Amino acid sequence: MNPTDGHRKHARNERDERNERNERDEPDDRDELDEREERDEREGKDEEGGRGERDGRGEPDRVSAAEALRGAVEQLTGLLGRAPETVSALTPTETGWTARIEFVEVERVPETTSVLASYEVALGHDGQLLGYERGKRYTRAQIDDKDGG
């Protein structure tokens, strides 16, 4: 065996050992991608990173009642340009949530004569505003009728 052959063999062994160490110590891109996909699946995110479908029926995740309520108030306040007086109802539906939010439409003195309006708000499962409609208008001093609103 000539000395050059021994040197080549030694260099090849060192290179093979380095490659083996790198393979053990550093995950390849596929491992990182698999881990990211598993994490997104646990967190209920879809391929684009948004909230996706979680249950077996294909329905998207439903936000909590508190999140839906906050979202309804924030979104409707932004659209109407005034703060709500109160929230009188929040109900889960097949398509998400419905809420009834009361706003002062006309401020008067004394306050008991101010005009309020009840808005029906439809929210999706994710808490996003789907639509709203102004319902009944009434004075603050008015007592509820049998319909409750």
Query: Sign of torsion, CA 98 90 138 110?
Result: negative
Q: How many residues does the chain have?
A: 149
Mean pLDDT to the nearest integer, 25-53: 53
- How far is it, in rounded angstroms, from Cα 77 to Cα 69? 12
Query: What does the pLDDT read at residue 49?
Result: 41
Q: Facing residues of 45 across strands?
A: 51
Strand order in the sheet with 129-139: 84-92, 96-106, 115-124, 129-139
What's the pLDDT score for residue 143?
A: 84
Can you tell me the mean pLDDT for 73-102?
94
CB 96 within 8 A of CB 65: no
Does residue 93 register a pLDDT over 70? yes
Residue 15 vs residue 121, higher pLDDT:
121
Q: What's the number of CA atoms in the CB half-sphere (13 Å) around residue 123? A: 30
Token pair for 105: 């439409």
The CA distance from 93 to 91, in Å, is 6
Predicted confidence (pLDDT) at residue 55 exceeds the cutoff of 60: no
Q: What is the pLDDT of residue 137?
A: 96
> Confidence band (pLDDT; 50, 70, 90) for 61?
confident
Taking the C-alpha atoms of residue 15 and residue 146, their distance in angstroms, rounded to an integer, is 85
Average pLDDT value for residue range 89-105: 95
Taking the complete model, does pTM exceed 0.85, yes or no? no
Report pLDDT digits (tens) over 100-122: 999 999 999 999 999 999 999 99
Of 61 and 116, the one with more pLDDT: 116
